Amino acid sequence: MTSTLIDNIGLLVTNDPQVGTGTAERESAALVLDGGIIRWIGDSRDAPAADERVDAAGRCVIPGFVDSHSHLVFAGDRADEFEYRMAGRSYSAGGIRRTVAATREASSGALLANARRLVAEMRAQGTTTVEVKSGYGLTVSDEARSLEVAGQVTSETTFLGAHVVPPEFADDVAAYVDLVTGDMLTACAPFARWIDVFCEAGAFDVDQARAILVAGQSRGLGARMHAAQLGESAGVQLAVELDAASVDHCTFLSGADVDALGGSSTVATLLPGVEFSTRQPYPDARRLIAAGATVAIASDCNPGSSYTSSMPFCIAVAVRDLRMTPAEALWAATAGGAQALRRNDIGVIAVGKRADVVILDAPTYVHLAYRPGVPLIHRVFSHDAP
Ligand SMILES: [Zn+2]
């Protein structure tokens, strides 16, 4: 194994509570990475020798982004739908169901190639961990193969059979919930770490969401939830009650929802790419932060409502439109995402943690929001890199 010294780091974001609050920054620092693990952190002048030296030349170094919400197993795209939506015209050609039809038609090899392409895009933009959901198969075999594909690009796999009700069950949602909690769960659980449900008007109601998450938990899957994207949802408080790792979207919250999240270990994951791409109102990050909730930011990369793979883009929107500070947004995109996946080995730069480290082509992470759309990723080190 080759050890790597990164020295002359102008600004190092550690997110390490032992170092300080929030982004817990250090100046003039150095790191040693070895065997995919961070082995040493200190002042650049005291840095030990290593097999390889990388001169950061005063740049900013941050933990790799943890994108805790994506849907990368699909076929086709919906650029036409986006174009219509931006022109203010409604488009009623089926939304998610269109992607479901294309995904069912596609070979597993084509689905894997597309997922790998998107993960490579993410990696080039500084993401070193990504969660990937199923949810465009919606049959027992198509959900299971979607998760097999997901498992080839990440260990953070989520069974989302309860994404929408497929057309063949439109008249009998209860029968579809029985399938999701029965044969589909049995087929998918071996390939999944998490179970998720879309608890929203037009998808699944709170009683159905409870049945689905409890069934998954009984098989050892961790719970997560999509809720309050389009309106207030009883799903938010259900997620807290079931100790879900995260409830995602959180765009429309009641005061009681905010209070529940503030007093819980359930992360509020905000997906600002969705509001940007659908021209919807943004969530109120300031209210969540004031209530003491843990806030994460993720891409929700999917071909319908948010086809971005870029965490820097999401940070820029979070700063401009969610009114998060650059430090809050960066923390949410790294340590916040790690908490949303209940991981303590990522999203932090500390001795013994995974060597998932990004050198920015900038003196400070503020540039991620200050210079939107500019490629600022100088180099990515990843535990998982070959
Ligand atoms: Zn989603």
pLDDT tens, position by position, 116-136 = 999 999 999 999 999 999 999
pLDDT, tens digit, 9 for 90 and up, residues 43-101 = 999 999 999 999 999 999 999 999 999 999 999 999 999 999 999 987 655 688 899 99
Q: Give the C-alpha separation, 199 to 233, whole Å.
A: 7
Domain 65-340 in CATH: superfamily?
A: Metal-dependent hydrolases (3.20.20.140)
State mean pLDDT over 337-343. Answer: 98
pLDDT of the residue at 383: 84
Rounded distance from Cα 223 to ligand 1 centre (Å): 14
**Taking a C-beta distance cutoff of 8 angstroms, is the pair 48, 5 a contact?**
yes
Domain 4-64+348-381 in CATH: superfamily?
A: Urease, subunit C, domain 1 (2.30.40.10)
Average pLDDT, the chain: 96
Rounded distance from Cα 71 to ligand 1 centre (Å): 6
Domain extents for the chain? 4-64+348-381, 65-340
Rounded distance from Cα 69 to ligand 1 centre (Å): 6
pLDDT, tens digit, 9 for 90 and up, residues 183-237 = 999 999 999 999 999 999 989 999 999 999 999 999 999 999 999 999 999 999 9
**Taking a C-beta distance cutoff of 8 angstroms, is the pair 31, 40 a contact?**
yes
State mean pLDDT over 318-341. Answer: 98
Rounded distance from Cα 245 to ligand 1 centre (Å): 15
DSSP assignment of 2-13, as one string?
--EEEEEEEEEE
pLDDT of the residue at 91: 60
Ligand 1 ion: residues within 5 Å (CB): 300
Q: Is the pLDDT of residue 290 over 90?
A: yes
pLDDT, tens digit, 9 for 90 and up, residues 342-357 = 999 999 999 999 999 9
Backbone angles phi, psi at 349, to 5 degrees: -110, 100
List the Cα angle 127/132/133 in 5-degree steps.
155
Rounded distance from Cα 36 to ligand 1 centre (Å): 30
Rounded distance from Cα 8 to ligand 1 centre (Å): 39
Rounded distance from Cα 188 to ligand 1 centre (Å): 18
SS (H, E, C) 199-227: ECCCCECHHHHHHHHHHHHHCCCEEEEEE
Rounded distance from Cα 70 to ligand 1 centre (Å): 6
Rounded distance from Cα 184 to ligand 1 centre (Å): 20
DSSP assignment of 44-109, as one string?
GGGPPP-SEEEE-TT-EEEEPEEE--B-----S--HHHHHHHHTT----S-THHHHHHHHHHS-HH
pLDDT of the residue at 94: 66
pLDDT, tens digit, 9 for 90 and up, residues 268-287 = 999 999 999 999 999 999 99
List the Cα angle 333/335/337 in 5-degree steps.
55
Q: Is the pLDDT of residue 363 over 70?
A: yes
List the Cα angle 240/191/71 in 5-degree steps.
65
pLDDT, tens digit, 9 for 90 and up, residues 150-174 = 999 999 999 999 999 999 999 999 9
pLDDT of the residue at 1: 72
Q: Is the dihedral of CA 254, 255, 256, 258 positive or negative?
A: positive
Q: Is the pLDDT of residue 386 over 70?
A: no
Rounded distance from Cα 302 to ligand 1 centre (Å): 7
State mean pLDDT over 1-13. Answer: 95
Q: Give the C-alpha separation, 344 to 351, whole Å.
A: 12
Q: Residue written as tokens 């300080």?
A: 20
Rounded distance from Cα 163 to ligand 1 centre (Å): 8
In the structure encoding, which two tokens stand for residue 88, read together? 């203010």
Instruction: Count other Cβ atoms within 10 Å, centred on residue 136.
Output: 31
pLDDT of the residue at 365: 98
